């Protein structure tokens, strides 16, 4: 153990109340520190549609496009989707869309296609757009990218507590396991690497059928997903993730009927705010706009 470093222990978290609070932000320790530091709020849009999923669970594509456009337009105070996207990218940009292919709960391919359509509508050339996950490090478009769009579904995760937008960038490093310590607290460091820093224009956290609890080696059971029918969109990945985390926590509370914190606590969200200065995690610093279906919104 390094002697010079101050050891952070559970007692530090107990002092801030993050292991004791019920109905608050269990699992997001030290958020109060972050709240004191920041002065500028982040905007996040949570949009839901109770008809986005067919009774059998398949996706209604037109509904998805509609809520996605409305969320992006609202987020950027734009008149229409085209002008919103013109705020995000230039026709000369080379754009990597960082998606997520995790088998049981991948990013919907129609959402990927919609993002590509919107980029091309701005004038970005098709050959300058790539959608990828595990191959981003060898993808020629990603290698020379000038802009990134980050999109993935929200789910619980064995080591990081939650598979978040922040965690989605772990494929940009050659040694992902180096970031697994202490519930993947250091994930934010990846966002400050030179080939990533400042490139992300938009973050889309897919909350259509989030996974709120994991079982087994493969960490998945359909029983622990539910038709939330939402998207969270923000230019601040921390704000989007923190909002999603609160919804997941509330769902766990509702489902299990007792305080059952996300395990392990998704420390990387707070650390992305407090240590790596990537955005706002505290609700007081998030201007959350809620659109669409409000029933059982859980936040």
Partner 1 sequence: MDFKAFMKNFHFATARISHCLAVLTLSICTVIMTQTADADSLKKLRARLPGQISGWKAEPEDRIFDPTTIFSYINGAAEVYKAYNMRHCLSRRYINPNGPPIILDIFDMGSSEDAYGVFTHDTDGEVMDVGQDARYRPGWLSFWKHRFFVSIFMEEETTAAEKAVKELGRAVAAQIPTKGSRPSILLLLPQEGLESESIHYMHHPIVLNYHFYLADENILNISSRTDAVLASYHREGQKALLLLVLYPKTENAVKSLTGFLKHYLPDADKTGAALLENGKCAAVRLKNRLLAVVLEADSRELAESLLKSVKHNPD
- Residue keyed to tokens 């650390």: 271
Q: How far apart are CA 17 and CA 33, in angstroms?
A: 12
Stretch that binds partner 1, among 10-18, 41-49, 68-76, 86-94 (CB under 8 A): 10-18
Give min distance, CB of 10 to partner 1, in A.
Answer: 5
CB–CB of 264/161 below 8 Å? Answer: yes
CB–CB of 44/289 below 8 Å? Answer: yes
Q: Is 219 in the site for partner 1 (CB under 8 A)?
A: yes
Give min distance, CB of 15 to partner 1, in A.
Answer: 5
* Residues linked to residue 87 through DSSP beta bridges, in sequence order: none
Q: How far is CA 253 from the centre of its chain?
A: 21
Q: How far apart are CA 170 and CA 187, in angstroms?
A: 7
Q: Is 158 in the site for partner 1 (CB under 8 A)?
A: yes
Stretch that binds partner 1, among 69-77, 90-98, 122-130, 179-187 (CB under 8 A): 179-187
Give min distance, CB of 94 to partner 1, in A.
Answer: 28
DSSP string for 24-71? S-TT-TTHHHHHHH--S-EEEEEEE-TTSB-TTS-B-HHHHHHHHHHH
Q: Is 7 in the site for partner 1 (CB under 8 A)?
A: yes
By CB under 8 A, name the one of 23, 55, 56, 217 that touches partner 1: 217
Stretch that binds partner 1, among 9-17, 35-43, 66-74, 234-242 (CB under 8 A): 9-17
Q: Is 275 in the site for partner 1 (CB under 8 A)?
A: no
Token pair listed for 68: 């996605």
Stretch that binds partner 1, among 64-72, 178-186, 274-282, 283-291 (CB under 8 A): 178-186
DSSP string for 130-147? EEESTTTTT-HHHHT-SE
Give min distance, CB of 182 to partner 1, in A.
Answer: 5
* Residues linked to residue 151 through DSSP beta bridges, in sequence order: 204
By CB under 8 A, name the one of 188, 265, 266, 279 that touches partner 1: 265
CB–CB of 168/191 below 8 Å? Answer: no
Q: Is 135 in the site for partner 1 (CB under 8 A)?
A: no
Token pair listed for 273: 């705010």
- Residue keyed to tokens 């757009």: 129
Q: How far apart are CA 84 and CA 97, in angstroms?
A: 17
Q: Is 19 in the site for partner 1 (CB under 8 A)?
A: yes
Give min distance, CB of 250 to partner 1, in A.
Answer: 21
Q: Is 159 in the site for partner 1 (CB under 8 A)?
A: yes
Give min distance, CB of 139 to partner 1, in A.
Answer: 18
Q: Which residues sit at the interface with partner 1, rule CB under 8 A?
A: 1-2, 5, 7-11, 13-15, 19-20, 102, 104, 157-160, 163, 177, 180-183, 185, 215-219, 221-223, 263-265
């Amino acid at each position: 153990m390094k002697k010079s470093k101050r050891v952070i222990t559970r007692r530090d978290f107990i002092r801030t109340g993050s292991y004791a609070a019920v109905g608050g932000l269990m699992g997001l320790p030290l958020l109060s520190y972050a709240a004191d530091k920041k002065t500028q709020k982040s905007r996040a849009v949570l949009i839901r549609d109770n008809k986005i999923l067919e009774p059998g669970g398949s996706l209604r594509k037109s509904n998805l496009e509609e809520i996605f456009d409305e969320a992006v337009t609202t987020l950027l105070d734009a008149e229409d989707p085209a002008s919103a996207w013109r705020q995000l990218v230039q026709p000369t940009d080379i754009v990597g869309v960082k998606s997520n292919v995790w088998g049981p709960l991948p990013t919907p391919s129609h959402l990927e296609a919609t993002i590509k359509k919107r980029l091309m509508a701005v004038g970005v050339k098709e050959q300058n757009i790539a959608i990828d996950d595990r191959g981003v490090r060898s993808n020629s478009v990603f290698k020379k990218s000038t802009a990134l769009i980050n999109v993935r579904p929200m789910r619980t995760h064995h080591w990081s507590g939650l598979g978040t937008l922040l965690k989605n960038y772990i494929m940009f490093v050659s040694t992902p396991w180096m970031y697994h310590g202490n519930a993947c607290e250091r994930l934010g460091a990846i966002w400050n690497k030179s080939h990533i820093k400042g490139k992300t224009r938009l973050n889309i956290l897919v909350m259509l059928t989030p996974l709120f609890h994991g079982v087994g080696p493969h960490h998945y059971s359909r029983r622990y997903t539910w038709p939330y029918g939402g998207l969270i969109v923000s230019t601040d990945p921390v704000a989007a993730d923190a909002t999603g985390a609160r919804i997941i926590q509330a769902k766990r509370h509702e489902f299990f009927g007792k305080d059952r914190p996300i395990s392990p606590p998704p420390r990387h969200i707070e650390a992305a705010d407090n240590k790596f200065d990537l955005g706002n995690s505290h609700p007081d610093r998030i201007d959350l706009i809620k659109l669409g279906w409000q029933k059982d919104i859980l936040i």
